[in-house]
Structure 1
Amino acid sequence: MRGIVIRVLDIVFSLGGLLVLSPLILLVSLVGFFDTGSPFFCHERVGREQRPFKLIKFRTMNIGTASVASHLVNAAAVTPLGHILRKSKLDELPQLWNVLKGDMSLVGPRPCLFNQDELIAERVARGVFAVRPGITGLAQINDIDMSTPQLLAETDALMISKITVREYFRYILVTVLGKGRGDRVKPTGTP
């Protein structure tokens, strides 16, 4: 029953968010076109039951940047607009479409790449792939990113085991209010 309620909330909030925020999405798209020539970034990610899906975000890095987890990318790859989008978390807005389609939830484990073998193994061991990946969650609001696969998987599993509608709203609220930094990018000059 809890899963049905959360899915209904996902549909209502993602559709509402896309409608209300469409002027902002259009503006960021336009500015992104001038920043990189391609404002959106679509990439295959690991979804529920380890099924692939195409995640959509605003592009924050130069075209041609290696397809690896953010903590493995050098900060020099992040564009000037990308810095603003990542800091404000506006780069995540297009994922409302993924939520509406049912690929993701607003709250859940952040979707990983298929080449993140250690994280996938840790998540499989803890049953994390039984739920839809999300835009935000317990790990994100506590600054736990994909650079610590075991800790991330443990935190994801804890969140899944204790998620309630109240917690769902709390994760969204604290994310909107600015808690959490998102996935880290290596500082420029770091090997």
Structure 2
Amino acid sequence: MEPRLSEIPDSTTSMRRMTKVEYFIKRVIDITGSIIGLILTAPIFFLIGISYLFEKERGPVFFKQRRVGWNGQIFYIYKFRTMVINAEKKLKENKLLYKKYVANNYKLEPYEDPRITKLGKFLRRTSLDELPQLINVLKGEMSLVGPRPVVEEELKEYKNKKNQFLSVKPGVTGYWQISGRSNVGYPERVELELYYVYNQSILFDIKILYKTFMVVLTNKGAY
């Protein structure tokens, strides 16, 4: 059973750190996995790209957003665009809806979120919108497995555990995703993410990758 947030130490000295050999193996897995993944999903990239031509509001195929990465470094995460143009601006213009968005763990139900397009709903439900993050993995900004990278305003949810959270490279998938994903909000999400940080290992990564495939197949927790 994962520890409760109150049981996790404030420092990083007691966490289980991977050895240099393990880090090397993890990076080899990341590079190999992302290259193979990009090659195998190339037809999917093409079909999704074509689908954007049939949207009412034309816009870019890809969406990028500032996220906080390893040791607090800022990078841009890539996804297939699932929202209308200037989505963040439109959301913040509706103060009541934005307040609800923040209070609801930075998400809205698909039926009430005015930002999500019809194609976007399908991409999110099938998790296909996440595929471009393989590019982030290949670039070394992310790993296949790790805590999900957050936007800067979400860091406050980690309070004095922020340094622990940022001490590990963020991942495309992780312990939070296989434990409920969007069905699990803060503060429980913090506990799940930090459980991975304190128990990281190659074997744990392999288990998470396997369970991720099962979660994606069942659309469990997809938002």
TMscore range, shorter length: 0.7 to 0.9
What's the TM-score once normalised by structure 2's chain length?
0.73
Q: Which amino acid aligns with 1:64?
A: N
| TM-score where L is the length of structure 1 | 0.85
Which of these two proteins has the greater Rg computed from alpha carbons?
2
Paired residues for 1:94-173 under 5 Å: 94-121=132-159, 123-124=161-162, 127-145=164-182, 148-173=185-210
Report the 3-state secondary structure (helix = DSSP H, G, I; strand = E; otherwise coil) of the residue aligned with 2:63. strand
Root-mean-square deviation (Å):
2.3
1:170-189 maps to which residues of 2 (within 5 A)? 170-177=207-214, 178=216, 180-182=220-222, 184=223
Q: Secondary structure at the match of 2:50?
A: helix
Q: Which amino acid aligns with 2:107?
A: H
Match of 1:86 among 112, 124, 137: 124
SS in 2 for 1:132: coil
Which letter maps to 2:119? L
Identity rate, percent: 32
> For residues 146 and 103 of structure 1, what CA distance do their matches in structure 2 show?
26
The equivalent residue for 1:71 is: 107
* Cα-to-partner distance string for 1:22-53 (whole Å, 9 max, x where unaligned): 11112112213433422110111000001000
Q: Which amino acid aligns with 1:28?
A: I
Pick from 6, 16, 34: which aligns with 2:36?
A: 16
The amino acid across from 1:22 in the alignment is A
Alpha carbons of structure 1 residues 55 and 123: separation in structure 2 relative to 1, 3 Å: farther
Change (3 A) 1:49 1:174: same
> Which one is further off, 172-181 or 105-114?
172-181
Report the more deviating stretch, 162-171 or 129-138: 162-171
Question: SS at the partner of 1:16?
Answer: helix
Q: Distance in 2 between matches of 1:134 and 1:169?
A: 13
CA contact (8 A) 1:122 1:149 kept: no
How many pairs align? 182
SS of alignment partner, residue 175 of structure 1: helix
Give the match's secondary structure for 1:6.
helix
1:62 is aligned to 2:84: yes
CA offsets 1:156-176 (integer angstroms, 9 cap, x no match): 111122222222122112222
Q: Distance in 2 between matches of 1:6 and 1:43?
A: 25
Residues 33 and 108 of structure 1: CA distance in aligned 2, closer, same or farther (over 3 Å):
farther
Q: 45, 68, 93: which one pairs with 1:25?
A: 45
In structure 1, runs of 5+ residues without a counterpart are 185-191
